[in-house]
Structure 1
Amino acid sequence: MTSSDWANPYGVRKPYGSNGMNHGHGGEDGANGAAVLSADHPLVPWKEPDHVHQWVDVDHSREALDRFGRSWPELGELLDSNVGYGRVVIVSGPPGMGKTTLIHRCLYEVKQRVAAAGAAVGNPLPVFVPTAGLENDGRRISVDPDGESFAPTRLINARIRREVAKRLRLHDFPESRVKAIIDEEDPYLAYGEMSDLLVQRNALLFAVIPHIRWNDAHLRAAFLRTCLSHAHPRIVLFVEVSQGAAETAKEVAAGLSGSTAVTHLALGELNCEDIWRFSRSARPGHGAPHVLVEPDRSSLMAAHREWNPRDVRELRKVFHSAADALRSAPYPWPIDADALRPHWEPRRTGRDALLRAPIRPRPGG
C-alpha cells in the first residue's frame, strides 16, 4: 500500500475479510480499523454505504438493477409462510463484468426496503451471508477434498449451509437448531428447518452463492435444480453463473420456476459508451489528484476502439493505475487514451488470467 492509494479517485474501499473487520493492514486508516482503498474490489454498498456513489451504469447493470426492483415482492409477501417457496435470483454474464457488484447493489436495495417497511411487519431481522466472502471466490466451496476435481453437489450444498450457520450464530440463533441445519443430509429438510427457524425469529435470509467455477453445464444445471430449488419461505438465494453461460442460466431459471420464484439478471459485454461512463465514476472530495482534469470524451471513445476492454475489472484496474501515475505529472492531464495506453497494453496479454484454472468434473456429478 502506497500513499497514492489514499488519494486515488478510482480506488475502492475494501472491507476486510468476509465480515468487514480489520485484519491488521497498515496505513493510517488500517490503524484506526477502517477499510483501506484497493485498485479493485466488488462494490459492497450494504457494508460500505459510500460505494453507492461509485456505482457505474456499465454492461447493462442499470437495466438489470431496475428489473430486479420491478420483480421484487412486497415485504409482507416475503414473510408470508403460506406462499410455500423462497426466491432465487440468478445473475449471469462473462467473468469480470460486475456480477458480484450487481448482487451487492441488489442487497443494498433489499436492505433499504426492509428498513422502510419493517415497522409494519414487526421489523424483521435481515441476515446477509456472502457464502464465499466478499471477494466471491467459490473454489473452497466447489472443489473436492483432493483439491483438484469438482465436489459432489451434496458436499457443495453442505458447505454453503455451514457458511449460513456461521452467520446465524452471530445473530444468536439457538445453537441446537443451527446444528440441526448443518447435520441434516437431505437438502430439502435442511432448508425446511432453516425456514422454520427464520419464521420463529422473524428473520429473512439473503445468501449469495458464488460462481462455483464448474466447467460442465449439466453439473451446473443439476446443482441449481437439486439444491437451490429447495428454497423455502424467507430464504432468498442470489446465485452467480459465470463464463458467459447466459443461455444455460436462462434455461435453468425456466426449469426452476415451478418450485420457487426465479428472477434472472443477465449482464452483457462492454460497449463504447461504457468507458466514458466509467471515467466519470471518480470520487470527488476524497483527495483526488490535483493533476486530473475532466475526461476527454472523444479520446476515450477512441481508446475503447483501440483497447477494447474485456470487463469492468480491467477498466477499474487500468483507470486506477493511470490516475496514480498522473499524480506526478508536471501539468494537469486528462484521463484520455494517451494516459491509459501504458496501463492497458501490459494487461492485454494477461487477460486469460481472469478465467481461473478449470476444475475437472467429478464422474457422475
Structure 2
Amino acid sequence: MTPSSGAGTSALVAEDRDDANEQSPISTGPQTKTRGSEFSVLLRRVREAGLLDRRSRYYTWRIALTALAFVGGWTAFVLLGDSWWQLGVAAFLAAVFAQLAFLGHDAGHKQIFANRRANYVFGAIAGNLAIGLSIGWWVANHNRHHAHPNTEGADPDVMGVLAYSGERARTDRTFRRFIFRYQAWLFFPLLLLEAGSLHFASVRAVLRWPIPNRVWEGVLLAAHFVGYLATVFLVLSPANALVFIAVQQGLFGFYMGCTFAPNHKGMEVLRPGNSVDFLRRQVLTSRNVIGGPVIDTAMGGLNYQIEHHLFPSMPRPNLRRAQPIVEQFCAERDIPYLQTGLIASYAQALAALDAAGRFARPGAVANAETHAGV
C-alpha cells in the first residue's frame, strides 16, 4: 500500500481488472492482436502449472502466525508497562504491521479467498481495524497503478512527492521541486513519514471518496485509532507514548517504503497514451529482487514484482514458482527481464532518482537525456 494523490470514482472500476488481467492483455495499440496472443501463451503455461490455484493451507498458517505475533506484541506492550524497553516492542510491531499490510494487499488482489466479499472483509479487518489503512482506498488506488505502471499522469505512485522522470522534475513548479533536487538523499528519511501519509490518505478517502462501504470502513478506522492511542497513552507516560508512536509508525512506514522501492524506481517510465502492450508494459516497468525464503517473507512476495504484475491474483507462494516460467518466456521473445540483488536494486533506484532530480537543480540542461525516463 503506497500513498499517492488523486483517484476518483472511475478508479473503482479498476477493481474488476485484476481478474481480467488473468484472461487477456489490455488493448493499447495496433499490435495488440499479435502480442495479445503472446500473453495468452504465457497465461496457458502458468495455468497448466496450477499456479493460479488457491493456496488455502499457506494462507491459513500465514494469517495465524501474523495474528499471533500481533496479539503477542500488544500483550508484551501491556506487560512491560512504562519502560524504554518498549522501543523494542515498537520495532517488532512495526514489522508485524507491515506483514498485516502484505496480507491486506493479497486480499485486495483476491489471492486469499475465492469469494470477493471474504477477501474484502479480511482486508478491512487487517487494514482498517488492525493497522489503520483503508482497504477501499487502497484497492481503488493500487489498481490504477497495476493498469498503468510507471506511466506519468496515470499511475498515482509516480505522481507523488518524488519525480521518476527528468521532465517532471524540470517542469514542476510546486514545493516538490525542492524535494526533487535532492530526492536521492531525502528518499530514506522521507520513508519515516510514509505511515502518516498512508493514514492521512485513508481517512481522506473515507471522508471524501465514494468508496463502497465507507461508513463501515470509517467505523473500523475510528476503532483502530481510538484503540491504538488509548492503549499507548494508558500504559505509557505522555512523553514515552509520543516516542513509542514515532518509532513504531516511523519504522512501519520505513519498512513499507523499503519494500516497494525496488519494484519500479529506475525502470522505464512511460508517457500517457503509450501503445505498449500489456505484457511488455508490466515486464519493462518492473524489477525482481533475487532472494530466498527470508527475502520472500520480508518483502511479502513482492520481490517477484514482474510475476505479480502479470498475474495480480496469483497467490503469493506461487510467484516463486512462476518466476522461471516467465523469465524463460521473456528470453524466447527478447523481452528485457530484470532481476537483481536487494542492495543493487536500491543502488539502481537511488541512481535513477538522482538522475531525474538533477533536472530540478539550477542550471540543469533542459535537453539532457537520462535513463530516468525522460
Q: Quickly name the TM-score band, shorter chain normalised.
A: 0.3 to 0.5
Which one has a larger percent strand, Structure 1 or Structure 2? 1
**TM-score calculated relative to the size of structure 2:** 0.33
Whichever structure has more helix as a proportion of its residues is 2
TM value normalised by structure 1: 0.34
